[in-house]
Every structure is written in C-alpha cells, then in structure tokens.
A and B are shown apart, each in its own frame.
Chain A
C-alpha cells in the first residue's frame, strides 16, 4: 500500500469542510484511483472531484498520473487569482 497526502482548496475545501486527508491506495495507483476513493468516502463531492484540476507534488497532472508513497496531491477548481 502507499499513503498520499491530499489537499483541498477553494470550493472543494468549502464543500468538504476540511483542508486535507491521508488516503491509502494500492501500489501502482493513479490519480483516477485516488479520485474514486475520495468519491467513495464523500459521494457529495463526485461532481466537484471529477471536474477538479489535480496537482501532484506541485505539478499539474491528470487521471493517468501514477502516484508514489508520500506524494502530495491537491484537488482544486480552475484557478481564479489576480
């Protein structure tokens, strides 16, 4: 198993009412699997998580990005700074 640190920002953080979570996944898991696991735990987040951008270790990624033990994975909506 691997363990990843998950961070939530902005609208997703507001919906979930928490900033982070630790999630265990099988070896070889991808971002897609992490999304499924989060949705299984929080079905109300399904739409938000499916539409979210994901960053792994501060780099934009997608569903196919492979995860390693200790990775930091952030989920957030399209950025709106400025």
Chain B
C-alpha cells in the first residue's frame, strides 16, 4: 500500500491550491473537495462592517498536532477519504487573500468527501490554537471563538 498523503501545517507564505491537490492525489483518487477560507473585506451579515486586514497568530507545535488529530478524526468518520491536507496561513493578511485550506480526496464523490472537508474546517475552528486580530476603520479587536474543548480533546 502506498502511504496515504497527510499534509498539515502552519505556513507564513501563500499556499498553492493546485500543489495541495496534487499532494493528496493518488492513483485511486477520483474526487477531491477543497475548502478555502479567505479574508472578507466587506461583511454584510449580522454585524456589517469593513475589514482592513487580519493579523493571525498560532501556537505552532500544538496547532500542527491538533491538525493531525483532525486528519485522524476525518479518516475515522469517513474511511473512504484518503488524502487530507490542512494548512493555515499566519501573519498579516489582507482582503481576498486565502487564509486556510482543507482538502480531502477519495475514490468517488459520494462517500463523504464534501462532508469531510466541511468537518475539517469546522473542527479547525474549534480546537486548533490559531487566533486572529481584526483591524478596520474603527480600530482593532482580537476575535474570540465560541468553543471550549474538553481536557484531552
């Protein structure tokens, strides 16, 4: 059996989505789902406002360990998902810049590859120690998540 591709990382520069796709592709891959999060400059939902830039910070060794844990959780839930990549950019990022990528590959499109990518980004926002400070016309603010992980989670 060839090794199942797992790519996780906190990265300082831009990532290449085509390269990520190539890295999670194996001879048995027939479907891949890639989620990309970007810096939203104009927010219209809930609390409409403008964003000048986001400043991301990570606790890198723990973040990468938690990303690896998420790849394990994905494969446990969707055993047909083979390649998984989770990458988070840090530093100052301006509107329209991609900030995060979660990509999953499988043999076919109908065995959970979409759900797996969705799970990956949702879970990242729960347990991966990364934070962002939002800077806009009205000042700056650290964004706080909502989820409290259990000990050992």
Contacts and interface: CB of A to CB of B under 8 A. Distances in A.
A60 B56 contact: no
Contact of A78 (B62, B121, B146, B153): B146
Chain B interface size range: 35 or more
B21 interface: no
Nearest to B122: A82
B124 A82 contact: yes
Contacts of A77: 131, 142, 144-145
Contacts of A7: 59
B61 A82 contact: no
Contacts of B131: 9-11, 76-77, 79-81
Contacts of A13: 57
A50 to B, nearest CB: 13
Interface stretch (A21-29, A32-40, A51-59): A51-59
B99 A82 contact: yes
B146 A81 contact: no
B100 interface: yes
Q: Looking at chain B's contact residues, is the secondary structure mostly helix, strand, loop, or mixed? A: mixed
B37 A79 contact: no
Given A10-B57, A58-B61, A74-B62, A80 B130 contact: yes
Given A58-B65, A60-B127, A78 B59 contact: no
Contact of A10 (B62, B65, B142, B148): B142
A7 B88 CA distance: 21
Interface in B98-153: 99-100, 121, 124-133, 142-153
Given A60-B152, A61-B151, A82 B59 contact: no
A74 B59 contact: yes
Contacts of A55: 59, 62, 129
Contacts of B37: 82
Interface of A: 7, 9-11, 13-14, 53, 55, 58-62, 65, 74, 76-82
